[in-house]
Amino acid sequence: MLISSVFVGMLIGLALKGSLLKLSSLRARLWWLLLLAFLAKFMAVKLHGSGLYDMGGLMPYVQGGVYWVSIGFIVLNRRFPWMKVILLGTLLNATVVMMNGGRMPVSEQTLVEVGKVQTIDRLRGGEDVMHSLGDDSTFAPFLGDWITIPPSTSVLSIGDVIVMIGVILLISSVMTSKGTAEGQGTTQESVRDGVGPTPV
């Protein structure tokens, strides 16, 4: 999801005559902490999938930790443009995941429509520790995974789409900015807060 968003953002930036070199100004603070959080999540999924350890009961804590780190990372790097959009999408995903036992609910109907019948069987069998099939007991199913963007067969949530839009806008705006990413973010926040230069 993030990789494709970065790629699309780059294409838009190039189409608008931006420069890839300007992406070097995206020097995020504590990026390594975010990397460690997702690495821990990856290991939890692998442990569960391999049958070495049942991570079902621990997944709410793993997911909660990853989302807390992610939100903290976004807030810490809010000087970059469009980070508030990315934060909104992350908060929506965190809400639906944490209110559904640490798993993202997925629409069975959507999975059928995109031909992912095997995924349905895996979810029913509890093989996927990060997702679950949505049902009548699901909290806020509209925030779960039910959106598809053809020609891809990936099933996304509203939060995913918002995060993708935020990343695309972040990358393309940095590539087409006149200054650095940090400077651009500061300028945008100043204008929104009404403390920027007075228009003539």
Q: Looking at residue 181, what is its pLDDT?
A: 66
Residues constituting the chain: 200
Per-residue pLDDT band for 185 (boundaries 50, 70, 90) equals: low
Domain assignment present for 192 = no
pLDDT score at 182: 66
Residue 16 vs residue 178, higher pLDDT: 16
Tens of pLDDT, residue by residue over 100-153, are: 999 999 999 999 999 999 999 999 988 899 999 999 999 999 999 999 998 889
Question: Does 199 reside within a domain?
Answer: no
Q: What is the pLDDT of residues 7-27, one digit of tens each?
A: 999 999 999 999 999 999 889
Q: What is the pLDDT of residue 52?
A: 79
Task: Compute the distance between CA of residue 158 and CA of residue 1 in angstroms, rounded to an integer.
Answer: 13
Q: Print the domain residue range for 41.
A: 2-17+30-177
31-50 helix and 59-76 helix, angle to the nearest 10 degrees: 160
23: in domain = no
pTM, 2 dp: 0.86
Whether 140 is in a domain gets the answer: yes
26-70 pLDDT per residue, tens: 899 989 999 999 999 999 888 888 887 888 888 899 999 999 999
| Residue 190 domain-assigned (yes or no) | no
Domain-located, residue 200: no
Q: How far apart are CA 127 and CA 48, in angstroms?
A: 8
Pairing of strands 131-133, 104-106: parallel
In the prediction, which pLDDT does 183 show? 59
**Per-residue pLDDT, 57:** 87
Collect all residues with Cβ–Cβ distance below 8 Å to 62 and sequence separation of at least 6. Answer: 40, 41, 44, 55, 102
Transcribe the chain into DSSP letters.
-HHHHHHHHHHHHHHTT--GGGGGG---TTHHHHHHHHHHHHHHHHHHHHTSS--TTTHHHHHHHHHHHHHHHHHHTTTSTTHHHHHHHHHHHHHHHHTTTTSEEE-HHHHHHTT-HHHHHHHHTT--SSEEE--TT-SSGGGSB-EE-TT---EE-HHHHHHHHHHHHHHHHHHH-SS-HHHHHHHHHHHHTT-SPPP-
Any domain includes 118: yes
pLDDT of residue 53: 83
Q: Output the pLDDT for position 180.
A: 64
- What is the band of 193 on the pLDDT scale with cuts at 50, 70, 90? very low
Domain count, the chain: 1
- For residue 188, being part of any structural domain is answered with no
